[in-house]
Amino acid sequence: MKKVTEVAAELALPFIQEAGCTLWDVEYVREAGTWFLRVYIDCQGGVNINQCEAVSRPLSDALDVADPIEGSYVLEVSSAGADRPLKKPEHFQAFLGHEVELRLYRPMDGSKEFHGKLLAYDNGDVTMDLAGKGEHTFMKKEIALVRLYVAF
């Protein structure tokens, strides 16, 4: 039996492609007692509200027909965001050489957060060039989150 996120991704893909976008990620999470099905899309030059709507409306109808989710939920379709989390190997490969922020489950050298250039990704292990501190490889089991770094 497929996961809710897999079914939603399969249903969403044609609408996302028709909107000129790509699928970044799908998550099904419970927050404050409410279930959310979130579909994150990406597009060259950024995602606009019209593209989100072009995916959301037909996807909502397709989900009603397929009915893969028991109970009520909120469907959200949005951009992956400038500070998008990197979760899949292809995400990491696409952003090699870019600045990322990495958060650990437990502090290392007194810190849980690190910023630097993404140098490599290998089976969940992430190697970064930490500004002024050289290269460091973080093990998959240590990493809570890796996301693109946005400088203000």
Please state, in angstroms and rounded to a whole number, the distance separating the CA atoms of residues 99 and 49.
27
pLDDT tens readout for residues 67-100? 999 899 999 999 999 999 999 999 999 999 999 9
Q: Are residues 52 and 74 in the same domain?
A: yes
Q: Count up the domains in the chain and report the number.
A: 2
pLDDT tens readout for residues 110-152? 999 999 999 999 999 999 999 878 999 999 999 999 999 998 7
Whether 118 maps to a domain, the answer reads: yes
- Reading the block at residue 104, the tokens are 């650990």
Given a contact cutoff of 8 angstroms between Cβ atoms, the answer to whether 41 and 22 are in contact is yes
Please state, in angstroms and rounded to a whole number, the distance separating the CA atoms of residues 124 and 54.
34
Four-point Cα dihedral 65, 37, 26, 2, nearest 10: -50
- Reading the block at residue 43, the tokens are 């597009």
pLDDT tens readout for residues 56-67? 999 999 999 999
For position 131, what pLDDT does the model report?
Answer: 80
Strands 22-31 and 99-108: unpaired
Q: Are residues 93 and 124 in the same domain?
A: yes
Q: Which residue segment(s) compose the domain that 55 sits in?
A: 4-79
Please state, in angstroms and rounded to a whole number, the distance separating the CA atoms of residues 152 and 141.
30
Q: Where do runs of H (alpha helix) occur along the chain?
A: 4-18, 49-66, 89-94
Four-point Cα dihedral 29, 53, 16, 79, nearest 10: -60
Identify the domain boundary among 79, 98, 120. 79
For position 6, what pLDDT does the model report?
Answer: 95
Whether 84 maps to a domain, the answer reads: no
Identify the domain boundary among 36, 56, 79. 79
